[in-house]
A and B are shown apart, each in its own frame.
Chain A
């Protein structure tokens, strides 16, 4: 019976689609969570959310700014900062030059000030297109400066995290960025500042084990990966396959490490409410 229905719908679908030119195939999006295909145009229209499973896909820093802050309000910090090569890692400098050409960013995080529905914030957005959002000297420095600026000016911080972890090519120097960023978060916190971390796809490794996990409030987008150790590393350690939902935002929410899961279309308004609940709408602009 079920089979019959499938056939029936299949036929109906075919008839429906027959009006379109035969050789036209719309570009499709394959969801990394549910593996299903949907038209790319639909996925883009939803600001990169899978229409079938609600997986929230990756946005570039510029796209994230566009959907999050008040139009025209973003003022960038340290836009020209570029990485050195602290351990003289072969090809690191060249690799970055290429990346800077192919993207619109100079490293894996963009920071600055902006308004969210009238509340002034210091904002940081990690961009996974740049070496998987890994944290090296530039990411560490820009994030530390952003928190220090917020501390000095009594501003809240909203940080969108997306990272594969430490930047291997900077060796131990990348590990130390965990201390640098966490220290700056701590001073901001001790000064009474609000910090909202928004974990986006993926938030892992050294970023999870530093500033991402230190938010007063931790928000995650649906179905994104959040964890410390990589899935494959754990599978190799325990010699067994992990369940599908392991390290998804919902899993971390269930375990108590994420306060709330917020859909992209509601993010701006949730952030605005939370900022206002902490009195950040009274700020003179």
Chain B
């Protein structure tokens, strides 16, 4: 492993052009992938993809936020900032997974849920809240992996799981460092300072009990060796999915609840 980068350096790295996206990983980690579309209520949000595939032969449901690899793709997927219908599509597919006893793999990679008029009109708050609550009791194993950016409630809506892994340089945060600096200090230019203070790195997530695992990236970052990073992701999933599937489901749900229940620091 290389020397540890600072939070700020990693932030630059996850924004590097060419950093692999969920669409790059799917063909290398899964086989027989079929993409499914729409929330059956409003439309099909291109910022979240979902479908069915196989992991080592076992059928799994795959849900992930989609970043574009160029401007056109980014326009189509709204820079991975979902609308409510994206989260409702995710929930529809998650319930389908539960029905057919398929484990779920979520890939988180979003700056946050989209902030716009239509998103508010269609109930962004309700859509995120619903996913968080429903994922907590879905009777099938869920593993989430943060690929690059895990921004705010928009990330957590795919982040209620039995185990969360971070790619080595990925970040997970309550708000982007830029937004954080704007809100707390009314000064967006203090973004770097915010990134160092907020505790957003993979190691921070493990020490705060938010994540359980870190998936190592190739030298220089994920974009330097797509095959290698895909192999690492696959190795992690191949270990964890069977492990979670073997567990008694009621036991698994209890552990899932407890995982989140115990995060927090207070004095009585």
Query: How many angstroms from the CA of A172 to the CA of B174 in the assembled complex?
Result: 5
Residues in chain B near residue A137, CB distance under 8 A: 264-266
Q: Name the segment of B17-25, B94-102, B197-205, B234-242 touching the other chain.
A: B197-205
- Chain A's nearest CB lies how many Å from the CB of B176? 11
- Chain B, interface size category, equals 35 or more
A45 interface contact, C-beta 8 A? no
Number of A-B residue pairs, CB cutoff 8 Å, is: 183
* A 82-125 binary contact with B (CB < 8 Å = 1; else 0): 11111101100000000000000000000000000000000000
Give the residue of B116, B122, B133, B210 whose beta carbon is less than 8 angstroms from that of A182: B133
Q: Which residues, 77 to 117 on B, are CB-close (under 8 Å) to A?
A: 113, 115-117
A263 interface contact, C-beta 8 A? no
Do residues A171 and B200 form an inter-chain contact, with CB atoms below 8 A?
yes
A268 interface contact, C-beta 8 A? no
Q: Name the segment of B31-39, B60-68, B225-233, B255-263 touching the other chain.
A: B255-263
Q: Name the segment of B8-16, B48-56, B123-131 touching the other chain.
A: B123-131
Query: How many angstroms from the CA of A226 to the CA of B122 in the assembled complex?
Result: 13
Do residues B136 and A177 form an inter-chain contact, with CB atoms below 8 A?
no
B180 interface contact, C-beta 8 A? yes
Residues in chain B near residue A190, CB distance under 8 A: 137
Residues in chain A near residue B124, CB distance under 8 A: 209, 228-229
Given A86-B264, A183-B260, verify A237-B116 contact (CB < 8 Å).
yes
Given A87-B198, A172-B174, A176-B210, verify A141-B119 contact (CB < 8 Å).
no
Given A208-B129, A257-B123, verify A84-B257 contact (CB < 8 Å).
no
A14 interface contact, C-beta 8 A? no
* A residues adjacent to B (C-beta < 8 A): 78, 80-87, 89-90, 136-138, 140-141, 144, 166, 168-180, 182-187, 189-190, 205-206, 208-214, 226-230, 233-234, 237-238, 242, 246-247, 255-257
